[in-house]
Each structure stands twice: as structure tokens, then as C-alpha cells.
Structure 1
Amino acid sequence: MDARRWLYVFVLTFASLLPARTGDAVDSTLVLAAKSAALLDAYSGEFLFLKNENDRQYPASSTKILTALLVIEAGDLDRMVTINVEDTKVEPSNLDLKPGEQYTRRQLLYGLLLKSANDVAMALARDNAGSAEAFAEKMNERAAELGAISSHFVNPHGLHDPDHYTTAHDLALIARAAMEQPLFRQIVSTVYYSWRAPNGPISQLRNHNRLLRHFAGCNGLKTGYTRAAQQVLVSSALRESREVISVVLHTDKPGIWVDSKALLTFGLLKLGCSPESVVDTTDRPDESAETEDTSTR
């Protein structure tokens, strides 16, 4: 390990020994670009770091974490869902579902969480509750059960609505519950998925979460973007039997990756992971250039 990495290890190790302050006071050991952030021990539920954790923020497509949780908890995941016209009348990002097509709930969950498809979110919501509006009521009920009492959801996809909001604290609780579901964990850790439309070609869905490729141990979770929300990233990492969940809300494109790496590293060290395991294998070579999609993710 070169001198620069040793310095990084030293700084983060020292930081992990200091208590994180909560509320509006930002922990001086971590300087984040994000307006709000939270870091959670996935096993104990203890918060390890908080920044403006109770401030209302727009979740964008990280909304789909809760959407997926409700669908998975409902079960019968191999049941077929028939797409209708209303499902397709939603802004991108979409998978261009066609009325009359049929997919299993399981397949649609991959489209929801990897492609971040809004038409898929609408189809799953309607299938689960009869309408997107009824599904939103279930979202709010489930969020409250999880302790996410400062959030309010009005749709299953996260397209902007001033009455659709969450907090870093609440989103961490929702993500923790979702990560307790084996299928959810499997999907959000998947980098590529072969999507086949009925009577159509196979296309490769690529997970928008770059940390799956560039942060060793990353095993999820979900990106998001709208103009109002700016960049959003919920991420998780598992090392040496320790797992942490990070939430970064309202920042720029570089910020979600830099802030999330810093939070995940901080948390793993604080929980006792060896510095070598956390730092030495963090970065992996870029596989290809990634393009920006301005639609919600």
C-alpha cells in the first residue's frame, strides 16, 4: 500500500473513533456535499452518522425501494401481471411496456430496480393495490410501521410532486427493511440482467449504481434523480460480516459517489473492519464510459 493510501487509512481510522453528532450539526470528521445524509448499521439498526437527517428532501427513484418492498412482501412473485394502457402513460425512464404484455412480478422487479422504469412501477402498483393512489396509501402505512414518520409518498416511482418527500433518516429505515428480503438483496446487487419482452429481443439492463463495480463489497442499493431532488443514492456494503447502509440526498453527480464511498468506508471502519479490507481494494478499473440520463432514476 502506498503512502497516500496509508494516510487515508489513518485519517478514516481516527475518524471512526470519534462520535458522530446528529441533527443539523455536521460531523466534522466527514465533510459531505449532500444536503442530507444518514449512515446505518444494517444489523443493529444503530445510526452511525447523520447530517440534516430530518430535513425534507425529494427521494426521486429511491422511492422504488419502498415500492419493491411492498411487492415482495405481498408474495406470489411468479404471478403474471398484464400491462394496461394507464401503466404506459408515465414519463421516462421507461421500459416501453406495451398494453397486453405479460410479465411476472419477479421480472418486473428487476426492471423496477435496475432500469428504474416508471412504467414498471405503475404496473406493479396497480397489480398490488388496484391503482397508484391506493398503492401510495399502502406505502405511507408501511413507512409509518417502519418508523419513517416524516415521509409522505403519492406515487410508486418518485417523479416529482411537492407532496412526495422523505428524509435521510426515514429512507435508511426503509432501505434496511428492504435489505432483509433475500430477493431484494439479490436484485439490487445484480449488475446486469437479461430482459426479454414478449416476442421481442433480449436486452441487457445495467444497474445504475456504479459502486457495485467500483467499491468492493458494495451489494446495493438504488440511485435517483429529478431536477428537484438532484442526485440521490442509497447504497450498502458488506465486509467481514459487517454491513452498512448509506443515504445521500440532494447533491451533484460526483457527490453521490464521493459522499457514499466516504460514508460506507467510515461505517465499516467504525464497526471494526480492518483498514486493509476497507481501503486497499476499494477502486476497480472502469469497465466503460457511462452516459448521463436526465430522466428520473
Structure 2
Amino acid sequence: MGKKSLVCSFLIFFLFLQFGNLIAKAEEDKDEPKQLHAQSAVLMDADSGRVLYGKEENQIRPMASTTKIMTCILALEEMEKNQMVTISDYAAGQPKVHLGVQSQERYYLKDLLYSLMLESHNDSAVAIAEGIAGSVESFADRMNRKAKELGCNHTYFVTPNGLDDSDEEGTHSTTARDLAMIMRYCMMQSPMKEEFLEITQTRSYQFTDVDGKRNFICTNHNAFLDMMEGALTGKTGFTADAGYCYVGGLRQNGKTFIVALLACGWPNHKSYKWEDTRALMEYGMNEYEYRNVWQEVSIPDVFVTNGVRKQSPFESNIQIEAHVDGKEDIPVLLRDDEQVKVQTEVESSVEAPVVKGETLGIVRYILEGEEIASYDVIADESIEKRTFKWCMCWILKCASM
């Protein structure tokens, strides 16, 4: 090989490496945020519940006062109108952060929800739990049942306030994914979602005990409400075991996101959770857009065996048409490099009788191996079954004509 050929080969090899590096860099640039402080993190599409970004999202960890979103939504759903609660010795003895209620005082439960969510008071959480279920243990059972209903299979509640604790069944803990799912229920699905958002968006709230002897003012400590346009709700948390935690929601330009963070630093890194929240929310806003993924699907005719049409009784090889029973609008929040696959599953032949509108198959929309939408394929006409009785009736009818 000559010197000139060797140089050309080297240049080609060099350019190939550079081109490969550029491709790798482009792919890396499209990757999710990598410099998060949180040990576990999730960015969720609140409309669909799809996880758009996850970092150890299924790792079980303590969740501190983010627990209180479940306490709040259960109380809103189960409390009676103008329900009052009498403070127990146990509630009054809860550690800081606390409202400072005293044993045997009476409070309206609704007022204590503002104390719970704005100031994260631990005594208010216990008073609420006892007012709803009679005891902390019974209320925790309700919290765990609700978590199971929501599909949060890696969550276990021991306390209504999120203080580090455990019992014979397990440790008070959750995952970033489960925590995001609970927040999605609170702000998107619960029959009391509007009341939940009203409480958590309140900047300041003043109330007294039932007898009017003591006055309290609660100030919202969720800094995220003033951090980003469209901030909807959120709850902070901290314990020695959990570290700083946060879960919050945002709606902007028709897109709604939830961020959940666990173990997002320890003192003196209180601001880490806000940095991570902003980074994930901005990632969602910048990288994801709604696209209509509906596709025109060609449905083959379906053979009907042992069938008969009244208008053509001697017809054989009967085929019927079918169509997709669905709308032509399937908006999905997607990144540029994400594609939805369409799978059509239709019976090639069916046994008569067939009823018009009967399901003959299904069209599935698949994103990253998960079904995001599906529509039935239904028959366009009815076909009777060719039986001896049908044949005899047809012969007799013809004979009488």
C-alpha cells in the first residue's frame, strides 16, 4: 500500500470515528437528565400515568412528609361536613414540626388539613387520622388499602405524618413511581381533587379552635408554587432516614407533569429538591409534545363458516366486512424519537351466527411494549347460521310462494 493510500485510509478511519462520536453525542443529548441529586426520581405524564423519566424509580425508600398527600386526600373523601375532632394526648405529643394543639381541644377537621399541607404539622396529621378512623393504626390500614387500589404495590404506610417508623408488617416507605401515582390520584382522579388543589395552592390560612380561644396562621412552604409558571401543587418532606423529598405537579401549554423525588440530599442541601424539580419539569416541557398517533388500519374481510344470507341462500365462502370502533384522535405525549406501533388482531374466520356489531378482533396501540390504547374491530352485518331447521323453513317458504 502506498503512502497516499495509507493517508487516505487513516483519514477515512478518523472521519468515521468522528462521525460515530457525533452520533453518540446526539443520542446522549436526547437522553434524560443525568445530574440529578435525588437517589430516586420520576417524571410522570399526569394525564396517562406514563413514566417519562425514571431514576431508581422502583427502589423502596422512606418518604417523610410527602406521606401527607395520602392523609389529605383520604380525609377529604371520608370526612363529614363540618366534622370536628377532639385532640388526644397522643396527637398533642407529636414532635416538631407541629401546630401545638393541646389535649382535649376541639378543631374543625377541615382547618387541620391546611395545617397538614401548608406547614406539614405532625400533630395535625395524627388528629386527622384519629378523627377519620379512630386510631392511627386504623387510618394506616385505609392508607394501605387505597395505595393497593391505585396500583402502588411497593408502598407501605405506618404513620399519617411520614415520621420514620415501622411495625411487624414493614417500614414506612414507598417508591418514586408509587409516590407520583398517589399524587396523580390526588390531583387528577379523586372526586375531591379540586378541594385538594384548593388547599395545597392556598398561600396563607387563618383559623381558631372550635371554642375560639386560640388563633393560628399557616403559611405555605411549597416554594415550587412560585418557581415555575403553571405550578399546581406539591408537598415537601424531610426525616433523618428519608432525606429531603418532594412531589409536585405542573400544568403548562396543555401538558401536565408530576415530579417525585426521594432521598434528594441531606442538610445542608435543602435546595437540591428544587433544582431537580425544575430540571425534570423543563425536560418534560422541552422534549415532549402531544401527537395524534391514530392510524388508518386496513381490516381484511372475515370468512364466516356455516353461514347464510337471506338474500343469497346458495352463496358459499361468505365474507363480511368489519371496521374499527374508535375515534380518529389518539393524542399521546411523545419525544421526537418515540414511535407508537399498531398491532391488528382479527379473526380470519368465525363460526356463524354473527351479529352486527359483534367483536371480531382488536387494534392495539403499543408504546415501549405497553398498550396505550385499544379499539374493537366489529362486524358490519349479521349472518345467520345455516342449520337443518333454517333450510327446511326456506324450502317451505319457497314452496308456498
TM-score class normalised by the smaller sequence: 0.7 to 0.9
- Pick aligned residue for 2:39 from 14, 35, 39: 35
**What is residue 125 of structure 1 aligned with on the other side?**
129
User: Is 1:199 paired with 2:212?
Assistant: yes
The residue type equivalent to 2:286 in the other structure is: L
Residue by residue over 1:117-149, the C-alpha shift from the partner in whole angstroms, topping out at 9 and shown as x without a partner, is 111110111111111011111111110110110
Shift of 1:111: 0.8
**What is residue 241 of structure 2 aligned with on the other side?**
228
Superposition map of 1:88-103 within 5 A: 88-103=92-107
- Pick aligned residue for 1:187 from 185, 199, 203: 199
Superposition map of 1:140-289 within 5 A: 140-162=144-166, 163-180=171-188, 181-197=193-209, 198-200=211-213, 202-252=215-265, 253-272=270-289
Shift of 1:157: 0.5
Once residues 176 and 260 of structure 1 are traced to their aligned partners in structure 2, the CA distance between those partners, rounded to angstroms, is 16
Once residues 208 and 284 of structure 2 are traced to their aligned partners in structure 1, the CA distance between those partners, rounded to angstroms, is 38
Q: Which has the higher helix share?
A: 1
The alignment's C-alpha RMSD in Å is: 2.1
Residue by residue over 1:140-196, the C-alpha shift from the partner in whole angstroms, topping out at 9 and shown as x without a partner, is 111011011001111111111251110001000111111131111111112222233
Once residues 75 and 49 of structure 2 are traced to their aligned partners in structure 1, the CA distance between those partners, rounded to angstroms, is 23
Shift of 1:201: 5.5
Mean alpha-carbon deviation: is it higher for 133-142 or for 72-81?
72-81
Q: CA 1:80–1:257 in 2, change beyond 3 Å: closer, same or farther?
A: same
Once residues 71 and 199 of structure 1 are traced to their aligned partners in structure 2, the CA distance between those partners, rounded to angstroms, is 23
Q: CA 1:160–1:29 in 2, change beyond 3 Å: closer, same or farther?
A: closer
User: Is 1:44 paired with 2:27?
Assistant: no
SS in 1 for 2:85: strand
Once residues 52 and 79 of structure 2 are traced to their aligned partners in structure 1, the CA distance between those partners, rounded to angstroms, is 33
SS in 2 for 1:251: coil
Residue by residue over 1:19-52, the C-alpha shift from the partner in whole angstroms, topping out at 9 and shown as x without a partner, is xxxxxxxx54442110000111111111111110
Shift of 1:243: 1.2
Residue by residue over 1:76-104, the C-alpha shift from the partner in whole angstroms, topping out at 9 and shown as x without a partner, is 24211222222112111110112232222
Shift of 1:265: 1.4
Gaps of 5+ in 1: 1-13, 19-26, 274-297
**What is residue 72 of structure 1 aligned with on the other side?**
76
Residue by residue over 1:202-232, the C-alpha shift from the partner in whole angstroms, topping out at 9 and shown as x without a partner, is 4431212111122222111100001111100
**What is residue 87 of structure 2 aligned with on the other side?**
83
TM superposition outliers: structure 1 runs of 4+ over 4 Å: none
The answer as to whether partners of 2:205 and 2:219 remain within 8 angstroms in 1 is yes
SS in 2 for 1:107: helix
SS in 1 for 2:156: coil
Mean alpha-carbon deviation: is it higher for 120-129 or for 77-86?
77-86
**What is residue 7 of structure 2 aligned with on the other side?**
none
Once residues 192 and 127 of structure 1 are traced to their aligned partners in structure 2, the CA distance between those partners, rounded to angstroms, is 24
The answer as to whether partners of 2:224 and 2:234 remain within 8 angstroms in 1 is no
**What is residue 286 of structure 1 aligned with on the other side?**
none
Q: Which has the higher strand share?
A: 2
Once residues 32 and 256 of structure 2 are traced to their aligned partners in structure 1, the CA distance between those partners, rounded to angstroms, is 23
Shift of 1:264: 1.3
The residue type equivalent to 1:182 in the other structure is: E
Once residues 55 and 250 of structure 2 are traced to their aligned partners in structure 1, the CA distance between those partners, rounded to angstroms, is 20
The answer as to whether partners of 1:211 and 1:218 remain within 8 angstroms in 2 is yes
Once residues 202 and 287 of structure 2 are traced to their aligned partners in structure 1, the CA distance between those partners, rounded to angstroms, is 27
- TM-score of the pair, normalised by structure 2: 0.60
SS in 2 for 1:39: strand
The residue type equivalent to 2:151 in the other structure is: G
Once residues 103 and 111 of structure 1 are traced to their aligned partners in structure 2, the CA distance between those partners, rounded to angstroms, is 11
| Structure exhibiting the larger radius of gyration computed from Cα positions | 2
Gaps of 5+ in 2: 1-25, 291-401
Mean alpha-carbon deviation: is it higher for 77-86 or for 44-53?
77-86
User: Is 1:60 paired with 2:73?
Assistant: no
Residue by residue over 1:213-263, the C-alpha shift from the partner in whole angstroms, topping out at 9 and shown as x without a partner, is 222221111000011111001111111232111001102212101000111
- TM-score of the pair, normalised by structure 1: 0.79
Aligned-residue sequence identity (percent) comes to: 36
Superposition map of 1:5-44 within 5 A: 18=30, 28-44=32-48
SS in 1 for 2:205: strand
The answer as to whether partners of 1:191 and 1:212 remain within 8 angstroms in 2 is no
